[in-house]
Amino acid sequence: MKTNEEIQKDVMQEIKWDPQLRTVATEIGISAKEGVVTLSGIVDTYAKKLAAEKAAQRVHGVKVVAVDIEVKPVKTGVKTDTEIAEAIKNALMWNSAVNEDRIEVKVDNGWVYLNGNVEWEYEKRTAESAIKNLLGVRGVTNNITIKSKFIDADEIKNKIAAAFSRNARLDANTIRVEVIGSNVSLKGTVRSWTEKEEAERIAWSSPGVLTVDNKIEIFNEVFV
């Protein structure tokens, strides 16, 4: 079983291994306690902040990641909110998976707020993914809502269960799916944060899903 110090070391190594983070790895602080990892420090882009969180989540033994990293763009080439908003609209317009006419964009001191409604969760996630690497973006609040057509709860449950069974990264026998209306609840245990995240991604991909409550637990380990 991993100790707190071993998890801390492994997270640091994973951050240093990530090509996006190698130049800023020394600027990121890491603490670990019983599977809870806290990241702190300063990076120059929102994408690097997200990359640091993903890197920590990939490490075996990590159960929860708290991100206290601050985004401070370098002064050279600083963009105004208007310029950032224009760049975002262009990025959404050129992304075939997003209907930019249904998305409203507001930028306040580099922080982006997305509003509007779409039919699929992947559209909501794709919209955020399309802008996270843009220069000047300090963070994103994604308030886009999902308005899917109604689908029977049993059909939703069966589709998700079938997708779990097809997925080589998951042990479908350890995950339970409960559906009430368009709301999905996931329960059970998995071996890693990556598996938990993958299970949630699959649930969100099902037509008709409006919410996913991911209560899956990562298999308990003893820390010393």
Residue 224 is predicted with a pLDDT of 47
The pLDDT tens digits for 20-62 are 898 888 999 999 999 999 999 999 889 999 999 999 999 988 9
Average pLDDT score, the chain? 89
Residue 107 is predicted with a pLDDT of 95
Helices 46-57, 193-205: axis angle to 10 degrees equals 110
- Per the CB < 8 A criterion, the answer to whether 30 and 8 are in contact is yes
Q: Which domains does the chain have, with CATH numbers?
A: 4-71 (3.30.1340.30), 81-146 (3.30.1340.30), 153-218 (3.30.1340.30)
Residue with tokens 């998976």: 97
Residue 76 is predicted with a pLDDT of 60
The pLDDT tens digits for 62-100 are 989 999 999 988 766 678 899 999 999 999 988 888 888
Residue 77 is predicted with a pLDDT of 62
Residue 100 is predicted with a pLDDT of 86
Whether pTM exceeds 0.85: no
Residue 68 is predicted with a pLDDT of 94
CB-based contacts of 102, cutoff 8 Å, min separation 6: 116, 117, 118
Task: Give the mean model confidence (pLDDT) for residues 164-192.
Answer: 91
Q: How far apart are CA 159 and CA 104, in angstroms?
A: 31
Task: Give the mean model confidence (pLDDT) for residues 107-113.
Answer: 94
Whether residue 222 has pLDDT greater than 50? no
Q: What percent of the chain has pLDDT over 70?
A: 96
Q: How confident is the model at residue 223 (pLDDT cuts 50, 70, 90)?
A: very low
Task: Give the mean model confidence (pLDDT) for residues 101-115.
Answer: 93
Q: Measuring CA to CA, which residue among 84, 91, 89 is closest to residue 109? A: 84
